[in-house]
Amino acid sequence: MSLINKQNTSEKRLIGQFIEALQGLPNVHATLDQLEPATPTGNRGPDARIHLQAAGKSFILLIEAKKTVYPRDVQQQIWKLRELIRGEIPSVGEGESKLLLVAESISPGAKELLRSEGIGYYDGGGSLFLPAKGAYLYIDKPPPKSMSKSIGSLFSGRRGQVLHALLMHHQIWYGGKELAEQAMVSPATASQVLSELERFDWVESRGQGPSKERRLKEPATLLDAWAKHMEAMPPQGFRRYYVPAIKPEALLDHIGTVFAVHGIEYAISYEAAAQSYAPFLTGISQVRCRLLEDPAADAALMALNARVVSQGANLAIIEAKSSGELLFRERIHEIWLASPIQVYLDLMRSEGRAKEMADHLRKERIGF
């Protein structure tokens, strides 16, 4: 089967799925008036023309079908859709013509842009937006797995380190090599992440070829997306300890002193770090810490007289596999703290008043 035929088959299936979704709504009736397959030259009308009756009104839906849509694609698609409606000659009684983009997956940012332009959409996850007078339809569902996987992969592992670097220095123009060095990743990984961010329209670029540079232009949007991803993650795993005979307010200094003596690489995060960056609570009962795997780590914990517990822990350890997990840590009052970005993201997947602390930290220290 040729690529064109495969594309047509996928489009037909998606358009059929869209019609079924419309038929499943109360007081809605939809019929396929026309299915216009794409041609190699692109000289065609709409991919489909659907007659819709809803709430006693008639509409003609002019459909453009795509596989995936990102913010970078939206302006081009809007131009195509408006060309379709300019070429439309409705028959008597057919009602108002409405533009609608159908795709396997549409990114959240692309959906927002389409809504702002008054253009409808439907994706493979079942989300539907149709802005018509007297028949306004809006169904918001989680993105399909393909889009969720694409977005989620940005926020994990070494790709997440690239985002971390961009957020920490969002005003800096980076070449791929410089960004890779900052993020402690390969140039190929940095390039892949930058290309993906371009699809989401979260970076701007200047220059061409080897001298091309990019800068994050939507740091708040990127951080919001990452935080939303973290909120959906299961609670983080910890090794839990109790350090006896020490007051909570003195535990942080004690940990810093002992870890320094043993040459341990670490970064305090969660509430204890947030409290150091931007005081919010009257007291902290537990210190949570990322600890780089090291043979000396067990000796340091023994020096703290820390014992493993299942309840009542005042020290929680997250095992870090590489120094990349400690990126951009800051030394404040002889204590190594995780970066404000990392602390914010950790708090967003935590419990209790953690999210309140996260909001306070973002306002007071992160600033976007």
* pLDDT single digits (tens) 274-313: 999 999 988 888 999 999 988 899 999 999 999 999 999 9
Q: Give the CA distances from residue 128 to residues 14, 73, 114, 219, in Å, rounded to whole numbers and listed in that order.
A: 13, 19, 12, 28
Whether 282 and 332 map to the same domain: the answer is yes
CA 268 to chain centre: 25
The whole-number pLDDT of residue 41 equals 42
77 versus 51: the higher-pLDDT residue is 51
Choosing from 173, 203, 231, the residue where a domain stops is 231
Distance CA 318, CA 316 (A): 7
Residues 47 and 127 in one domain: yes
**Domain housing 299:** 239-366
3-state secondary structure of 319: strand
Whole-angstrom Cα distance, residue 39 to residue 42? 5
The CATH number for 187's domain is 1.10.10.10
350/339: higher pLDDT: 339
Contacts of 317 (CB under 8 A, 6+ apart): 238, 239, 240, 241, 288, 289, 290, 291, 301
CA pair distance 353, 202, nearest whole angstrom: 30
Q: What is the pLDDT of residue 88?
A: 62
Alpha carbons 355 and 341: distance in angstroms, whole number: 14
**pLDDT tens-digit series, residues 121-171:** 999 888 999 988 777 888 888 777 666 666 767 898 899 999 999 999 999
According to DSSP, the β-strands at 96-106 and 57-69 are: parallel
Taking 60 as the threshold, does the pLDDT of residue 355 lie above it? yes
Q: Do 176 and 190 form a contact (C-beta atoms < 8 A)?
A: yes
223 & 245 share domain: no
DSSP for 166-226, please give it. Answer: HHHTTTS-B-HHHHHHHHTS-HHHHHHHHHHHHHTT-EEEES-GGG-EEEES-HHHHHHHH
- Residues 98-127 have a mean pLDDT of 89
Q: How far apart are CA 125 and CA 363, in angstroms?
A: 34
Same domain, 63 and 138: yes
List Cα–Cα distances, 35 to 4, 8, 51, 189, in angstroms.
15, 10, 12, 41
Same domain, 71 and 184: no
Tell me the one-letter amino acid at 364.
E
End residue of a domain, out of 101, 118, 143: 143
pLDDT per residue as tens digits for the range 15-40:
998 999 888 888 888 888 766 644 44
Separation of first and last alpha carbons in the chain: 49
The helix (run of H) or strand (run of E) holding residue 102 is strand 96-106
Q: What is the pLDDT of residues 188-199, one digit of tens each?
A: 999 999 988 988
Report, as an integer, the average pLDDT of 333-347. Answer: 95
Query: Any alpha helices (H) in the chain, and if so which ranges?
Result: 3-23, 71-86, 108-116, 145-154, 157-168, 176-183, 187-199, 219-231, 248-261, 270-277, 296-303, 340-348, 354-361
Residue with tokens 């090794």: 239
Q: For residues 132 and 139, what is the distance between their CA atoms, to the nearest angstrom?
A: 14
Local confidence band at 76 (pLDDT 50, 70, 90 cut-offs): confident
pLDDT of residue 314: 93
Rounded distance, CA 282 to CA 362, Å?
19
150 in a structural domain:
no
Q: Are residues 197 and 227 in the same domain?
A: yes
Q: Which two tokens stand for residue 287?
A: 């210190």
Residue 32 parent element (H or E):
strand 28-35
Q: Is residue 327 part of a domain?
A: yes
Residues with Cβ within 8 Å of residue 360, at least 6 apart in sequence: 274, 278, 280
Of 143, 175, 207, the last residue of a domain is 143
- Give the domain CATH number at 105: 3.40.1350
Mean pLDDT of 174-193: 93
- pLDDT-derived band at 179 (thresholds 50, 70, 90) equals very high
Domain membership flag for residue 104? yes
Are residues 8 and 130 part of one domain? yes
Q: How confident is the prediction for the chain on average, in pLDDT? A: 86
Nearest by Cα to 28 from 137, 140, 138, 139: 137
